[in-house]
Amino acid sequence: MVEVENHLKDFSPAIPLRLLPAEHSARIVRIVGRPEDVQRLEEFGLRKGTRVEMFRPGNPCILRLGGNKVCLRTDDSLRVFVEPTERKTT
């Protein structure tokens, strides 16, 4: 039980990507899913440490990743956790 609690503590500021509000930025801290699904996201540039900005929340959501927009649909078998960083200022 202590091992599980310590594991969760490592990701305590993390939230599911789907909860990130529009125009907010975050850093990806973990992607959970089948190895082939995780690898596919990494091929798109979504990997641990990457900064993303939520353009349109929901499922699917639209993220800004660098100079591109990426549409992403997740479910119980593929989850992305992020640590919010800041709100975009316009």
Give per-residue pLDDT as tens, 10-52.
Answer: 555 899 998 999 999 999 999 999 999 999 999 989 999 999 9
Q: Exposed e or buried b for every residue in 13-24, given b needs 16+ CB within 10 A?
A: ebeebbebeeeb
Measured CA to CA, the distance from residue 58 to residue 56 in angstroms comes to 7
Q: What is the pTM of this model?
A: 0.78
For domain 2-87, which architecture applies? Roll (2.30)
| Domain edges within the chain | 2-87
Measured CA to CA, the distance from residue 37 to residue 4 in angstroms comes to 24
Q: Residue 37 is encoded by which pair of tokens?
A: 């699904």
Measured CA to CA, the distance from residue 50 to residue 30 in angstroms comes to 10
Q: Percent helix, strand and coil across the chain, each rounded to 5?
A: 25, 45, 35
**DSSP code at position 21:** P
The pLDDT value recorded for residue 4 is: 37
